[in-house]
A and B are shown apart, each in its own frame.
Chain A
Amino acid sequence: MTMTPRLRKFALTAHLISSVGWLGAVFVFLDLAVVGLTSQDAQTVRGAYLVMEPAARFVLIPLAFASLLTGLVQSLGTTWGLFRHYWVVFKLLINVFATTVLLMYMQTFRSMAGVAADPSTDLGVVRNASPSLHAVLALLLLLVAAVLGVYKPRGVTRYGWRKQHELRRVLVP
């Protein structure tokens, strides 16, 4: 199935906006995580961990799924395909992996918010290095995905190679 040029451009725009939006949101999360670790103000530290859970639920998760969905539409609706080129396969794997880890991490966000909401909890217990580590890893993954999407390095899979030659046979009998 191949999309019309107008639809293809629309799908590409949607994919770019959601993917770059996701990347930007992770940058903000890294900032929140660093503020939570380093701020000297108790309310700022608690606020940083309190805001992470709703921000992840209403911003990170929707953007992650939007990026995945628009990426699938973009690849299946064009000649790139989903499993024909290695760079597309890697982008898909990165997206699925990052989204899965994010969904698993929601429980940790809830736990950290619960601890931060309790005023009797020691600030040392509220502070947690885990969000910074996860944000840095997520940033690395999403930056690699962005670079792959822009440079589109050469390399077709065996399946892509077979499909290319099947298509060539149809076009040049």
Chain B
Amino acid sequence: MADPPAYPGTPRWVKAFGIIAIAVVLLFVVRLLTVGGEHARHTPSDASGGHTPPSSVTEGHKPLEGGNR
């Protein structure tokens, strides 16, 4: 029985995609580690704790009624 022909190798587009994929995953991990905590800033307790909205924001806008969720 004849041996199968040798594997032709990985195509160039796969190598390019692989490099981009690794870069995207690394960026994601770095962002998660560095900026990940930033979302905590937006928690309701933090946002309302001692924070008074400027009148320019509240003026002319009715606050949302309860039950808007």
On A, residues with C-beta under 8 Å from B are 41-43, 46-47, 50, 86, 90, 93, 97, 101, 107-108, 111-115, 117-125, 128, 130, 137, 153-155, 158, 161-162, 165, 169
> How far apart are the CA atoms of A123 and B53 in the complex, in Å?
8
20 A-B residue pairs with CB within 8 Å: A43-B64, A90-B21, A93-B21, A108-B39, A108-B42, A111-B40, A111-B42, A117-B44, A117-B64, A120-B63, A121-B51, A122-B57, A123-B57, A124-B57, A137-B24, A154-B11, A155-B11, A155-B13, A158-B7, A165-B4
**In the bound complex, what is the Cα–Cα distance between A52 and B43 (angstroms)?**
16
Is the CB–CB distance between B61 and A42 below 8 Å? yes
Interface of A is mostly: helix
Would you call B48 an interface residue if the criterion is a C-beta within 8 Å of the partner chain's C-beta atoms?
A: yes
- Interface size of B by Cβ–Cβ distance < 8 Å? 32
- Of the residues A120, A124, A154, A169, contact of B48 by C-beta under 8 Å: A120
Report the separation of the CA atoms of residues A137 and B69 in the bound assembly, to the nearest whole angstrom.
28
Which residue on B lies nearest to A97, using beta carbons?
Answer: B25
Give bound CA distance, A115 to B51, whole Å: 12
Q: Give, as a whole number of angstroms, the nearest-CB distance from A39 to chain B.
A: 12
- CB distance A118 to B44 under 8 Å? yes
A118:B47 contact, CB within 8 angstroms: yes
Known contacts A122-B51, A125-B42, A125-B51; is-contact A117 B17 (Cβ 8 Å): no
Q: State which residues 1-53 of B face A: CB under 8 Å.
A: 1, 4-5, 7-8, 10-11, 13-14, 17, 21, 24-25, 28, 39-40, 42-44, 47-48, 51-53
- Please indicate the chain B residues that have their CB under 8 angstroms from the CB of A108 in the complex: 39, 42
